Structure 1
Amino acid sequence: MTHKIAILGASGYTGAELIRLIATHPSMEITALSADRKAGMQMGDVFPHLRHLSLPKLVKIDEIDFTHVDLVFCALPHATSQAVIKKLPSKIKVVDLSADFRLRDLAEYEKWYGKPHSAPELQGEAVYGLTEFYRDDISAARLVAGTGCNAATGQFALRPLIAAGIIDLDEIIIDLKTGVSGAGRSLKENLLHAELSEGAHAYAVGGAHRHLAEFDQEFSAVAGRPVKVQFTPHLLPANRGIVATVYVKGDPKVIHKTLADAYKNEPFIVMLPFGEHPSTRHVRGSNFCHVGVVGDRIAGRTIVIAALDNLTKGSSGQALQNANLMLGEDETAGLMLAPVFP
């Protein structure tokens, strides 16, 4: 069976990444692509690396006939997604790549995103899209909310440890570095080459980053009590990739075994041998997340490092992984591409 797919917001980085992945999918066909400013253009003109593909022309959302669409990937900005998704036919399955349905508490959404949620009636049915931990719920869902890319990386390093109760929940530090594509494709002065290259800097320091809301929500739910982590992201002069260095109190060998046991049957989570640590260059362009554990020189302290590609496992790859489950397909379909190296 071939599933008819629409991608809304296809002229952004995550939209282009979805197209790249779906191009190798055995049972998905892209039948509609939307854009705002670039409506009327061919995808090959917007993204020349996709010129070899036969794709529909970019159109405005209200020009799309959703009659025969099975699933929509919504790669639109925050707040815009809510307004669009609530107008879609209820029979259509939706994977939203924005932050609009990630937070279960509507008051928390308003706190972190600065405005009331405009589709509260849909929030109750949305499933959080961290595939490895919500697989059964995602399989039965109509609406799945993709996670933040930083939030996913930190959770892969920590969720099994919190669930097992083997680390100090009040002493968790996440030091994270991310590539610039995580900021999207819109023109921004601070992302110009001359402003960004040959340097790195922290941002949203002291608890201002919106992905903290996801950490608070998910870690507290796993622990059964409030959990707040220290989290500082840094912007790197690199196109892709996230590496999170996580500092915890706990026995390093026990931590490594706990993570290895948790991920032993996961197709996309690769545990490295004890003492080895990952690099973004080894996951680039893939749906894999590499996790390593190293003991600190201070007894009882451990360093857990996770690396993934923010556009793939952190966003569009995760979205496709979820869509596969929602449509009853093999979870790995279209996603087993090896990382690009060097």
Structure 2
Amino acid sequence: MGNSFGKLFKITTFGESHGKALGVTIEGCPAGLPIDEEKIRLEMQRRKPGQSKITTQRKEEDEIEILSGVFEGKSTGTPIGIVIRNADQKSKDYSHISDKFRPSHADFTYFEKYGIRDYRGGGRSSARETAARVAAGAIAKQLLETKGISVQAFVTQVGNLKLEKAYQEMDLAEAENNIVRCPDPETAEKMIQLIDSVRLERDTIGGVISCVIKNTPVGLGEPVFDRLHAELGKAMLSINAVKGFEYGSGFEGVKMRGSQHNDAFVKEGDHIKTTTNHSGGIQGGISNGQDIYFNVAFKPVATIMQDQSSINEAGESVTVSGKGRHDPCVVPRAVPIVEAMAALVIADYLLLSKSNKL
């Protein structure tokens, strides 16, 4: 249970952090979609470990192997199978916690639920599972590109250090020109220094990723329980280490009055738009054609290179020592994960929208 996501554009992921491989099956991708494998590899490179001094030093090239569903460069309409083989497993890094529960990890809850757990990097609960999501999201992005829809995520906060500029004031493509993936070079450098200082202190720190989805058509989303923003929230909250999601004006909106917050409609040529966008491109759970934007909060990585008090499976007090290779801050590598999950949601609702009208 819980390994699949989506309704029409549906993915199922499999594999563990230190198993032989990770993988994903994608159902519902329309036949005839040109599949650019190089674009998939580019997304995998953005997420892969070991890419800079402020990420885990595990070395995984995360090469993809497409097993099915693509022929002569195009989707066939049958399930697309992708596998990503693990190459740099070091299970011995986790032997010291084989019967210990790491603070704020899924060790205890998995053990209580299943009566067994894979202690090698957390097994299925590891963020390494997201490699499969990024591969699937890369194909979803290619589907969205045919409709002119773009998905762009970027880092806007690390600890208390926050980017104050609105996304409209920046060239979001600049985010890929630095290792922290913040589109403002000056703020990016400060973020890098902060993460590196935390790393040298053998600790971790959290952050915020913002995402903007442009050119979505009006009408994506379903009433009541399947509202577009609800599905985006579920998608983001399913990512490891995520603790918060807000879209549009979010929590800042509570400070405003209705007269300030309401988005007035105007007509420009043949198109209806709003003069402001506090709604974040979604009203009544359905896209209104404006930019969809949201923020995703990530906690500090739970594994720290310091001793911590805990208990073992027998209920005895123990000390958990931090070992292995881990990110001091997850947000630089989580940017493509946020984009992937957003693209999967929009692709799914794009296909669903075709069944709502004659």
Report the TM-score when normalising by structure 1.
Answer: 0.28
Q: Which has the larger radius of gyration?
A: 2
Q: Which structure carries more relative contact order (alpha carbon 8 Å, separation 6+)?
A: 2
TM-score normalised per structure 2: 0.27
